[in-house]
């Protein structure tokens, strides 16, 4: 079983990198770390980076997870190959671009590009946001799935993820005690469906709601509260149709033996206990 330690970063292609940089800084509130070789790197916590925009196809997305040791990375590559997945070992140049010692890359059965990284860089400086959105860190992603039940088996049988809850066919998966780090949503494409950053409090969510409205940024869900994780949230649309989420108060699951996943309906009440209705394709029947 592949032991995933942490969700590390996402890489997103874009046709207009200047507009993407402007949005990441002025709207999301990330810190621009550097620009090199057509890439823009952003921080949201103590990691070297958690988001990269690069000049390329807007459908080209990558999600990365950290593993603990080099031998774990080797074993993961062998396990993936036994499962019939082609594994690419990153070159020295590719590792330098990602600021990691080593990584491997593969595609899951939906076609999502996944990287497993070893010894990713931490930052020697504290995170300094470009606007005061209250961000405390990169927390989870929504991942597209053409078959959530099949992909759930991959993440829970080949990897160490556990189901926290389901919304319709969509499993919310944890790899540590945080309620979920991955959520699989049914759709007809591959890629990242949404990107979540945690903020300090519900006050930050409400401040951002007014901030987004004033600037004409489409708010596609919320403010609301998830009945699954208990998190208060707001979702908004960014460049190339990518959905960003702020949330706070996500629950932790510390007693594995006592926890039993719950099934919520695929309807607005399964996503929000306050009554907000999502304008997000994957959150609808």
Q: What is the 3-state secondary structure (H, E, C) of 209-260?
A: HHHHHHCCCCEEEEEEECCCCCCEEEEEECHHHCEEEEEECCCECCCCCCCC
Alpha carbons 236 and 245: distance in angstroms, whole number: 6
What is 135-283's CATH number?
3.10.180.10
Alpha carbons 53 and 32: distance in angstroms, whole number: 11
Strands 61-67 and 51-55, bridge-based pairing: unpaired
The C-alpha angle with vertex 67 and arms to 104 and 255, in degrees rounded to 5, equals: 140
**What is residue 285's predicted lDDT score, i.e. its pLDDT?**
79
Averages of pLDDT over each 10 residues, the chain, 285 residues: 97 98 98 96 97 97 98 98 97 97 98 98 93 97 98 98 98 98 97 98 98 98 98 98 98 95 96 97 90
**CB-based contacts of 223, cutoff 8 Å, min separation 6:** 205, 206, 209, 232, 233, 234, 274, 276
Domains 6-118 and 135-283 share a fold: yes
Alpha carbons 20 and 10: distance in angstroms, whole number: 14
**CB-based contacts of 283, cutoff 8 Å, min separation 6:** 185, 221, 271
Identify which of 147, 124, 126 has the alpha carbon closest to the alpha carbon of residue 137: 126
Q: In the CATH hierarchy, which fold is given to the domain comprising 6-118?
A: 2,3-Dihydroxybiphenyl 1,2-Dioxygenase; domain 1 (3.10.180)
Instruction: Please state the domain extents for the chain.
Output: 6-118, 135-283
**What is residue 199's predicted lDDT score, i.e. its pLDDT?**
98
């Amino acid at each position: 079983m592949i032991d995933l330690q942490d969700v590390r970063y996402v890489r997103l292609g874009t046709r207009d990198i200047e507009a993407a940089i402007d949005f990441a800084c002025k709207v999301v509130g990330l810190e621009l770390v550097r620009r090199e070789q057509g890439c823009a790197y952003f921080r949201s916590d103590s990691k070297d980076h958690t988001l990269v925009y690069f000049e390329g196809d807007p459908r080209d997305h990558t999600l990365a997870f950290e593993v603990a040791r080099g031998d774990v990375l080797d074993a993961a590559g062998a396990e993936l190959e036994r499962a019939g997945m082609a594994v690419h070992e990153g070159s020295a140049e590719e590792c330098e671009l990602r600021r990691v010692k080593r990584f491997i890359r593969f595609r899951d059965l939906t076609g999502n590009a996944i990287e497993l990284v070893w010894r990713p860089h931490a930052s020697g400086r504290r995170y300094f946001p470009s606007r005061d959105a209250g961000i405390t860190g990169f927390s989870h992603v929504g991942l597209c799935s053409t078959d959530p039940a099949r992909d759930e088996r991959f993440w829970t049988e080949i990897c160490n993820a556990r189901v926290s809850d389901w919304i319709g066919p969509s499993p919310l998966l944890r790899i540590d005690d945080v309620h979920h780090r991955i959520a699989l949503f049914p759709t007809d494409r591959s890629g990242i469906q949404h990107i979540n950053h945690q903020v300090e409090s519900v006050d930050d969510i409400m401040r951002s709601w007014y901030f987004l409205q004033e600037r004409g940024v489409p708010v596609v869900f919320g403010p609301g509260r998830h009945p699954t994780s208990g998190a208060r949230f707001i979702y908004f649309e960014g460049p190339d149709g990518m959905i960003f989420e702020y949330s706070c108060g996500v629950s932790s699951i510390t007693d594995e033996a006592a926890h039993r996943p719950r099934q919520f309906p695929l309807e607005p009440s399964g996503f929000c206990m306050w009554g907000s209705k999502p304008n997000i394709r994957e959150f609808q029947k």
